[in-house]
Amino acid sequence: MRVLDCVARLKATQQTVQSASMRRARYFSGFDRLLACWLAVVWAGLSSPGALAASPEPRPPNIVILVADDWGFTDVGAFGGEIPTPHLDALAARGMRFSNFHVSGSCSPTRSMLLTGVDNHLAGVGNLRESMPHQHAGKPGYLGSLNRNVVTVAELLRDRGYRTYVTGKWNVGNEPHNLPPQRGFDRSLIQGDTGSDNWNPSQRYLGLTDQVYWFEDGREARMPERFYSSEFFVDKMIGYLKEDAAQAKPFFAYIGFQANHIPLQAPRAFIDQHRGNYDAGWAALRQARRDRSAALGVIPANAPMQAMSDAPDWASLNESTRRYEARRMEVYAGMAQAMDHHVGRLIAHLRDIGELERTVFVFLSDNGAEASDPFDSLISRLWLRASYRSDLDAMGDPGAYAVIGPHWARAVASPLSSYKFFAGEGGVRVPLIVAGVPGTAPGAIHSGFAHITDIVPTLLSLSGAQPAPPSIEGRRIEPPSGVSLLPVILGQQTRVRPADAAVGHELSGNAAMYRGELKLVRNLPPLGDGQWRLYDIVRDPGETQDLSVARADEFQALQQLYVQWEQVHGVLPMPAGYRYAYQVMRNAVMNVYVPRYGPWVVVVLVGLIALLFVRVVRRRRSQALKLARLN
């Protein structure tokens, strides 16, 4: 076909080559014509390798997913925060921020949806294993790890020709069939639990498991005695990229950071930069972040915000308490800044190897800020005192333990309500940045509803990878339920999904149903009262004005939709009196301490019972002897 085209072009050229002084057209001889055609074909082959074959398909982009842990909505500078996050801010400046993006209220349910695009109940992770009531454990949808009816995006990208890597927190199952090599990753170094110490990889952060489980390429990992988690995870990822640098294939890199999961820890060089930044207290921080977020256009300028009515007045606290509380927040800020610093190291490496401009970045947090304070529980407090320091001067250091607690958690969620575990916006709305997609308007903000299940369809669209088939080896495969974000990112659409599309959420009985701008929400105690409410989360992201009466028809319709959604997704009712903090402690005792110490407890109890029995027998014999003497 190329030769015929060449001949046709030569004939056309011959007919146009004329000289003003020539009276007749000049034509090539047959030999000249054949020679010219041959030279043209050779030139085309030299100037465009493979030109005689079909044009090669353009190489798809590299993809990097950065997952922060327990970050508040306005922790990133580009979302209104005061913490220096220059590298994430730079991604936001050349990409798109999603200011109405939703995840689950806890880590493993979110991560299951991020990897599969399937609702967490259908993926097998209806609840975090640690907070799951025993009535649910092991039932369909409540395995606490990925089931066999889902396929990860890594598997689909590897089929597309990608190199696939993961480092950091995994938390979707430690079973052999759920480790990264069986879930589509070529190389992996992962921490399989909800978290661990950030300085000592073998140190548990709470007594929720019998040990910290680390795996490299599916086998038990040999970890260094000391590291810093954010630095180590980036080092491993850069190492994997260097090892495979000779490969021309695109790569998919997924880093699950532990920052800012408890315990809050960071190098002093980062923490001390924030000294004095939080001396005005949590209410001042919440207001300042709300104002900056509005000024940036992340939230509406006139968006209302709930007051921190349940928090003590900062001025009423004594000086030592204020200093202790401020230092906790300084450590939190230092940990976030350290993570951003190491993200910058990864970006610099990609720039050095010439891959930065063809890499798409996706940054998000797995849920809102962590408000739990393990020191409030007697069992946890005893364990922590035996395992960690908590004094002011040591905060953030190796061997020290810090958390921010509920009041700072509300502040970093500003202007949203609630925090991690709950269905209020502060627990489930998190920052999302997508950068590096050609055609993105720099610094754009999308305020429409988006969901964690949208990430997989977006990555499939970007890469050209095919969705999983309906079944594999006789197993039915759940299809992703989300929608690609690409049309919104490229300015082709103003909505991610139709206005009447509904998306449900449930975690430990805290539930929501989203449709358009509306959100139906229910939170259980201790933060809620178990009653449904209705909010316009575009105009009122802080959930301050209940519309259940003013828009009663929509309120009822969304409740009916939620019931239907619950049935389709196999959501189980929560046991009466469920409290997630109590459940976490109960599960730790039953799943860790009883198996480990149960035999010794039995021995001690048997010994105590035997001792009591002997004492009773002796007492009765003594009484019988006294009666005999009297008689």
**φ and ψ at residue 165, rounded to 5 degrees:** -135, 150
SS3 string, 560-616, reads: HHHHHHHHHCCCCCCCCCCCHHHHHHHHHHHHHHHHHHHHHHHHHHHHHHHHHHHHH
pLDDT band at 571 (very low <50, low <70, confident <90, very high): very high
- pTM of the predicted structure, to 2 decimals: 0.87
Minimum mean pLDDT range among 22-26, 139-143, 597-601: 22-26
Q: For residues 178 and 180, what is the distance between their CA atoms, to the nearest angstrom? A: 6
Report DSSP state, residue 58.
P
Average pLDDT, the chain: 90
Report DSSP state, residue 323.
H
Q: For residues 416 and 305, what is the distance between their CA atoms, to the nearest angstrom? A: 7
pLDDT attached to residue 582: 85
Q: For residues 631 and 618, what is the distance between their CA atoms, to the nearest angstrom? A: 20
* Rg value, the chain, Cα: 30
- Which ranges constitute the DSSP H helices of 69-198? 86-94, 107-116, 120-123, 153-159
**What is the torsion angle, in degrees rounded to the nearest 10, for the CA atoms of residue 37, residue 40, residue 44 and residue 50?**
30
Q: For residues 82 and 429, what is the distance between their CA atoms, to the nearest angstrom? A: 19
What digits encode the pLDDT tens for the residues 92-149?
999 999 999 999 999 999 999 999 999 999 999 999 999 999 999 999 999 999 999 9
Chain center to CA of 173? 15
pLDDT attached to residue 45: 43
pLDDT band at 598 (very low <50, low <70, confident <90, very high): low
Which of 392, 404, 389 is CA-nearest to residue 70? 404
Instruction: Kindly give, in sequence order, each residue whose CB lies less than 8 Å from that of residue 543, ignoring residues fewer than 6 positions away.
Output: 306, 416, 417, 424, 425, 519, 521, 533, 535, 537
pLDDT attached to residue 585: 80
Which of 127, 271, 248 is CA-nearest to residue 198? 271
pLDDT attached to residue 22: 36
Q: For residues 414 and 289, what is the distance between their CA atoms, to the nearest angstrom? A: 6
pLDDT band at 54 (very low <50, low <70, confident <90, very high): low
Average pLDDT over residues 402-424: 97
pLDDT band at 55 (very low <50, low <70, confident <90, very high): low
Q: For residues 337 and 45, what is the distance between their CA atoms, to the nearest angstrom? A: 52
pLDDT attached to residue 309: 87
- The answer to whether residue 1 scores a pLDDT higher than 50 is no
The answer to whether the Cα torsion of 242, 244, 246, 249 is positive or negative is negative
Average pLDDT over residues 562-566: 98
**φ and ψ at residue 354, rounded to 5 degrees:** 80, 20
Q: For residues 500 and 495, what is the distance between their CA atoms, to the nearest angstrom? A: 11
First to last CA, the chain: 128
436 contacts 513 by C-beta, under 8 angstroms? no
Q: For residues 490 and 165, what is the distance between their CA atoms, to the nearest angstrom? A: 27
Look-up of token digits 């063809």 = 358
241 contacts 353 by C-beta, under 8 angstroms? yes
Burial class of 225 by CB neighbour count within 10 A (0 to 12, 13 to 18, 19+): exposed
pLDDT attached to residue 606: 66
Minimum mean pLDDT range among 23-27, 560-564, 623-627: 23-27
Q: For residues 380 and 385, what is the distance between their CA atoms, to the nearest angstrom? A: 8
pLDDT attached to residue 613: 78
Average pLDDT over residues 442-458: 98
Average pLDDT over residues 410-428: 98
**What is the torsion angle, in degrees rounded to the nearest 10, for the CA atoms of residue 135, residue 140, residue 143 and residue 146?**
-160
Average pLDDT over residues 302-313: 94
pLDDT attached to residue 600: 60
pLDDT attached to residue 631: 60
What digits encode the pLDDT tens for the residues 478-504?
999 999 999 999 999 999 999 999 999
Which of 414, 429, 423 is CA-nearest to residue 527? 423
- The answer to whether residue 446 scores a pLDDT higher than 60 is yes
Q: Render the burial of 245-255: b for 16+ CB within 10 Å, e for the rest.
A: eeeeebbbbbb
Task: Record the tokens describing residue 109, joined without a space.
Answer: 């349910």
Look-up of token digits 């007697």 = 378
Residue at 280: amino acid letter: A
